[in-house]
Amino acid sequence: MASPDTVWHHAVIQRAQRERQNGHRSAVLWFTGLSGAGKSTLAHTVEEKLHHLGVRAYVLDGDNVRHGLCGDLGFSVAERGENIRRIGEVAKLMLDAGLIVLTAFISPFRADRERVRGLFPPGDFLEIYCRCPIEVCEGRDTKGLYQRARAGQVAEFTGISSPYEPPAEPELAIDTDTLSLDASAERVLHLLRERGVIGGT
């Protein structure tokens, strides 16, 4: 997808140069799971740990993005797809900037996630499935969204009136109902080290 009468401008400074300056590779960590599964909490915890390691990272949070970039979108299947498409394109730009991008979005449909994966070279997109039973997610629901969805007050709510399609082969699956937050974050860091994104052991 491109606007007509435009030509891509190739920057003088390339991704590899930015990565060398940063001292680490760039990558996209795509956290997916039900509302209340702990995606945002885990992504921000990982970001904090990376910051303390001197790694340049940034979280794109689902709610925050809908306050601006995607503030014009609702929650129909088509609008959810457009939401994820926009985030994928933003993440692609941030990857080129040499950052580790952590995205925390329900992104319920497998096809939408695979479409975003296709934007990136192999190894740059790491899907992290925050696996958590819906009963636990409902118990954590401080916003009361599940209760409102079950009462029919929230349309197209994932897990209640709209499906969630779990990843078939995520790079990492974390059972956020049983694993502590710190242990979950360490598993993500281990993945980054294992894939050569950051150094250390």
CA atoms within 13 A on the CB side of 166: 13
- pLDDT at 50 exceeding the cut of 80: yes
Report if residue 1 sits inside a domain.
no
Q: Which of 35, 107, 162, 184 is catalytic?
A: 107
- pLDDT at 88 exceeding the cut of 90: yes
- pLDDT at 68 exceeding the cut of 90: no
The pLDDT-based confidence of 111 (bands split at 50, 70, 90) is very high
The pLDDT-based confidence of 65 (bands split at 50, 70, 90) is confident
| Contact present, 179 and 131 (Cβ < 8 Å) | no
C-alpha distances out from residue 34 to 75, 146, 152, 168, 179, Å: 14, 11, 18, 15, 16
Percentage of the chain surpassing pLDDT 90? 68
Report if residue 130 sits inside a domain.
yes
Report if residue 29 sits inside a domain.
yes
pLDDT score at 78: 87
Average pLDDT over residues 151-165: 89
The alpha helices in the chain, defined as continuous H runs, are 15-22, 39-52, 62-65, 77-96, 110-117, 134-139, 145-150, 181-194
200: its two tokens = 């250390």
Higher per-residue pLDDT: 146 or 127: 127
Higher per-residue pLDDT: 63 or 124: 124
pLDDT score at 201: 63
Domain enclosing residue 56, as ranges = 15-194
pLDDT score at 81: 85
For residue 127, which phi and psi values (nearest 5 degrees)? -85, 125
pLDDT score at 75: 78
Report if residue 7 sits inside a domain.
no
Mark whether 107 is an active-site residue: yes
CA dist 61 and 40 (Å) reads 7
Give the CATH number for residue 118: 3.40.50.300
Summary mean pLDDT of the chain: 91
Q: DSSP 3-state assignment of 60?
A: strand
The pLDDT-based confidence of 2 (bands split at 50, 70, 90) is low
- pLDDT at 3 exceeding the cut of 90: no
Average pLDDT over residues 110-125: 95
44: its two tokens = 């921000």
Task: Provide the whole-model pTM.
Answer: 0.90
- pLDDT at 12 exceeding the cut of 80: no
Residue type, 23: G
Report if residue 8 sits inside a domain.
no
Pick from 121, 134, 126, 153: which is nearest to 34 by CA? 134
C-alpha distances out from residue 96 to 2, 25, 90, 114, Å: 18, 10, 10, 20
Report if residue 49 sits inside a domain.
yes
Pick from 152, 124, 147, 128: which is nearest to 137 by CA? 147
How many structural domains are present in the chain?
A: 1
pLDDT score at 142: 78
Report if residue 176 sits inside a domain.
yes
pLDDT score at 70: 76
Report if residue 2 sits inside a domain.
no
